[in-house]
Amino acid sequence: MKEKEKCQFCGGILDHKKTNVDLRVNNEFIIFEDVPAKVCGQCGEKYFSAEVYTIIEERVKKKEDVKKVINVPVMCFPVSV
């Protein structure tokens, strides 16, 4: 039986899931949906393969397969807390 992979941050078990990746590139906010990843069931940390990173990088450069465009509000955090 193969030992389950553990999160490097909290030691939780990693599960294979599809998740979203949010990136900010040159003042553009880009969201990738349904990205294959290993996700920690305890803290939510996401791990991606080199192949996934390469695909994301190529698509960001070429702006391929844009499914839709949305408006994103930008808010300022109060100066004092």
CATH number, domain containing residue 24: 3.10.20.860
Domain count, the chain: 1
Q: d(Cα 69, Cα 79) in Å, to the nearest integer?
A: 31
Give the pLDDT score at 63. Answer: 84
pTM given for the model: 0.83
- Give 80's strand partners: none
Q: pLDDT tens-digit profile of 11-49?
A: 999 999 999 999 999 989 999 999 999 999 999 999 999
Amino acid identity, position 42: Q
Q: d(Cα 28, Cα 42) in Å, to the nearest integer?
A: 30
- What's the half-sphere exposure (Cβ side, CA atoms, 13 Å) at 63? 6
Q: pLDDT tens-digit profile of 42-74?
A: 999 999 999 999 999 999 999 878 999 999 898
- Candidates 63, 17, 56; CA nearest to 40 is 17
- 81 pLDDT higher than 80: no
Range of the domain at 47: 14-61
Average pLDDT of the chain is 94
